[in-house]
Amino acid sequence: MFESLFSGFDTDIFDEFKRLESEMLQLFGNSPWPAGIRATQRGAFPPVNVGTTPERVDVYLFAAGLDPKSLDLSIQQNLLAVSGSHKVKVDEKADYYRRERFDGDFRRVITLPSDVDPDRVEARYRDGVLQVTIQRRESTRPRQITVN
Please state, in angstroms and rounded to a whole number, the distance separating the CA atoms of residues 120 and 89: 35
To other proteins, the closest distance from the beta carbon of 27 in angstroms equals 14
Between 11 and 76, name the residue whose CB sits nearer to other proteins: 11
CB 59 within 8 A of CB 112: yes
Q: How far is the CB of 130 from other proteins (least distance, A)?
A: 9
- Compare residues 56 and 121 and give the one whose CB is closer to other proteins: 56
CA distance 50 to 52: 7
Nearest residue to 109 (alpha-carbon basis) of 148, 76, 144: 76
The footprint of other proteins (CB under 8 A) covers 11-12, 15, 18-19, 22, 33, 42, 46-53, 55-58, 60, 62-66, 88, 91, 93-102, 110, 113, 125-129, 131
Element spanning 12, H or E: helix 12-28
Min. distance of Cβ 109 from other proteins in angstroms?
A: 12
Q: Which is nearer to other proteins, 21 or 72 (CB)?
A: 21
DSSP at 93: T
